Amino acid sequence: MNGTVRVLVIDDDFRVAGLHRDIVSSRPGFAALDPVRTLGQASLAVRAEHPDLLLVDAYLPDGDGISFVRDCDVDAFVLSAAEDAATIRRALRAGALAYLTKPFDRSVLAARLDRYARFRNLVEGERALAQSDLDRALAILHGGVDSGSVSRSATEQLLLVTLGDDEASATEVAERAGISRATAQRHLSALAARGVVDVKLRYGTTGRPEHRYARARA
């Protein structure tokens, strides 16, 4: 990675913003810009400071942080106390590279930043990326393993969040996640092959049986 990763914290709680700024400053290769407390201030800071990464609260006094991530052409993590699946899905669809639920230990954000630096090393520049390069970069960004076993792409993470504790068809998952059925089917099949999700057939009165997916139980 060339140069230092400049990080802008966007949070209306100055104590939380200061804590996150200090975590950023503690990581080698990172520099924390002065935190901002509103989306208006964030827009000005993005234009003036050209940050490489945003740490954005989901809800700010003057608007929606997730919409800001969607409209801003800058890498971003969403940091929020919201734990509902709908908000998490919306953040991932908006392009957030990570979603951290508050409160979290400082080591959690520190580890995410370190993985982001490695991810950025692999995808920067204008060179073409082979699928294996992309898979490796995404695995690094998302921790490489889930519960000690399974690496996941961002799309797979979205699908697992969408499934939650429910059982659903590929069509239903695709509609909830806001992606095409073909994409959902491909990734669900890959997750099923790795044992991350269970699949069973449901037979109706007519037509072919429907595949139903659910997260595998430990």
Q: List all residues 6 or more positions away from 175 whose beta carbon is below 8 Å from its beta carbon.
A: none
Strands 63-64 and 59-60, by their bridges, are: antiparallel
Q: Note the pLDDT of residue 2.
A: 53
Of 97 and 3, which is predicted with more confidence?
97
Instruction: Please give the distance of CA 119 from its chain centroid, rounded to a whole number.
Output: 13
| pLDDT (tens digit per residue) in 123-179 | 887 888 888 778 888 888 877 543 333 334 677 888 888 888 889 999 999 888 888
Q: 7: part of which helix (H) or strand (E)?
A: strand 5-10
CATH match of 154-215 with 1.10.1060.10:
no
Q: What percent of the chain has pLDDT over 90?
A: 51
Domain ranges of the chain: 5-141, 154-215
Domain 5-141's class? alpha beta
Among 212, 30, 36, residue whose Cα is nearest residue 115: 30
| Predicted TM-score (pTM) of this structure | 0.67
Q: Please say whether the beta carbons of 216 and 197 come within 8 A.
A: yes
Mean pLDDT of 44-69: 96
Question: What burial class does residue 170 get, using C-beta atoms within 10 Å of its C-beta: 0-12 exposed, 13-18 middle, 19+ buried?
Answer: buried
Element (H, E) at 202: strand 197-202
Q: What pLDDT was estimated at residue 139?
A: 80
